[in-house]
Structure 1
């Protein structure tokens, strides 16, 4: 068995217990500090960077009795993020020194000079990190740390969406603690998206619990969608790109016209996301945003939750062209008049649900938007 000193996010006991696979409150720990080392904020992330710093004392916890299997789990969790174990001498609160293992970063992480705040992280990011850790550790023994690190951005997006979903209003007719029982949770696939299964019982409308049923869902995250609209010219911008799921469905027309859309990053507001996506996909700067609803895109198969907007934009001049990011996107845009858009909707030309939904919202509110422009 070994003793470990944790200075960063793993000081959060619910997170550490998930990583260790020991969620039974049996951890033996105490406050400790490491001299001449500091914990600094990594730029543009909620994560800490640990480095030698003369005169600094980094606070943390010393956890005793970590088994070899738990050490392997820690290596799996931290290994994909370029950390390695080193022995150090840490001081306990009573002044006694003892040796412990510490994870040190092996690559530069663009730290700032600002100290990292564990309390701020715990308040703002710990829930997302706990949910992320559950998915990460579900792959222990099945994937390498490097494979998980590739999937980690998507894992964090899904965790952020889960935390956001928990904040939505509950249904007063049902009590999830009594009316839904999850017997098992399976993780058969993860990459950009995740496929998960549960063995579940739910209360039926006659009051009895159902048999144990296996149900699956594609875990996506939250997405923001915007239909750019020029109220002066009465026209909209659409973007087109190849959609692999449409091709995989056997459809001979997998290049789909859509509004501008993208997944929310953890902690990102939907309004910020659509402005970012408009610049990336179409080089377009949006003005006023009109919320056009929020909803699940396909409740029978996907967890994706959409925030819909109609965004004011100047669509005059040469605003169409090619767009995309370094993620393999290949996008072109076009501007069409409102009447042409609605004719296409009525003729079934457009197959994208967010486009049809935002177009119908625009039809209902168009006169108000044109008057207030």
Structure 2
């Protein structure tokens, strides 16, 4: 039996091969692929081969990167007709034909890159457990690359040539991770800095939402326990906050905001208005926040206690007037920065939003 593998379906795509550092020889295998539209994003969703037709594939000599990826994803090397197939499983989650155009290939390849970049001492089962957060971070990196440069005409445009990464480390990886880079960057005076070490807490992009009822001029804020104030010995670790949460892999930011509103407040959001998207703490925190005001119906009695039991969430909603929230910000009673920012943004833009909603 050959020691070469035949990569099928998602595994055979050019962006995946590039992530593994492989080139291969085009071939075909008998059968048609079904299912697997989240292949490479969800470990259990790979396509299956059914009889009929042929499927394009690539023959490769497996390297360590590919072997590690296959182990993390729990993929089996399937023997069929003296061939060793990789990228299929016995049963698919769907009977729909696998569609390359609908598959999130860029995201799957970015996740593959993160798995391959992970330190060798990180066990495959740890990386498999971390896969949902690897997906969050992979999607965050893709959005980051696609971002428009900030700073307007005050900041000189930069390129990758202005930063030299000497070494990368990951001293901690759990639900979140810590990345440490040894690097040098170009100075304003010219030349480069000496070697410096910087660390970042990797958590990924998140959405932040303040529900606003423009007819009643009310907002909803939520209250929940937070570890960081407790670590700081703050006497009030139950904070008033906006609705917020991570953007899942394969999810757009608007859908994430609406999902979090349902999970944390049982609210349906009619329309979203983007507010101030930003890095909350770019010196230490690898996180980008997408802030929104969401149009909602907030009658008396709508607030309650919600949250996902599987995430041990215990979240209480409060419906208050927008003016009261502004006064609480002015009085220093809001310790959550994004909530204060959205409240002030809404104060500036409320008349424009009312016109767009045809309320005036």
* TM-score normalized with structure 2 length: 0.87
Partner residue, 1:307: 290
Q: CA deviation at 1:141?
A: 3.5
Q: CA deviation at 1:11?
A: 1.6
Contact 2:7 2:87 in 1 (8 A): no
Deviations for 1:208-250, whole angstroms, at most 9, x for unmatched residues?
2001111111222222211111122222100111122232233
Cα distance between partner residues in 2 of 1:316 and 1:307: 26
Partner residue, 1:96: none
**Map 1:16-27 → 2, pairs under 5 A:** 16=17, 18-19=19-20, 23=21, 27=23
Cα distance between partner residues in 2 of 1:211 and 1:318: 60
What stretches of structure 1 of length at least 5 have no aligned partner? 90-98
Further displaced range: 329-338 or 101-110: 101-110
Aligned residues: 348
SS in 2 for 1:284: coil
Candidates 125, 129, 147, aligned match of 2:108: 129
Asked whether 1:32 is paired with 2:27, we answer yes
Contact 1:236 1:337 in 2 (8 A): yes
What stretches of structure 2 of length at least 5 have no aligned partner? none
Cα distance between partner residues in 2 of 1:293 and 1:104: 41
Cα distance between partner residues in 1 of 2:265 and 2:302: 8
Asked whether 1:83 is paired with 2:75, we answer yes
Contact 2:212 2:220 in 1 (8 A): yes
Cα distance between partner residues in 2 of 1:369 and 1:54: 56
Q: CA deviation at 1:350?
A: 1.0
**Map 1:204-243 → 2, pairs under 5 A:** 204-243=187-226
SS in 2 for 1:293: coil
Partner residue, 1:41: 35
Q: CA deviation at 1:317?
A: 2.6
Partner residue, 1:202: 185
- Higher share in strand: 1
Further displaced range: 351-360 or 189-198: 189-198
* TM-score normalized with structure 1 length: 0.84
Candidates 289, 300, 315, aligned match of 1:331: 315
**Map 1:7-156 → 2, pairs under 5 A:** 7-16=8-17, 18-19=19-20, 23=21, 27=23, 29-35=24-30, 37-42=31-36, 49-64=46-61, 66=62, 70=64, 73-89=65-81, 99-103=82-86, 108-117=91-100, 120-121=102-103, 125-139=104-118, 141-156=120-135
Q: CA deviation at 1:324?
A: 1.0
RMSD: 2.5
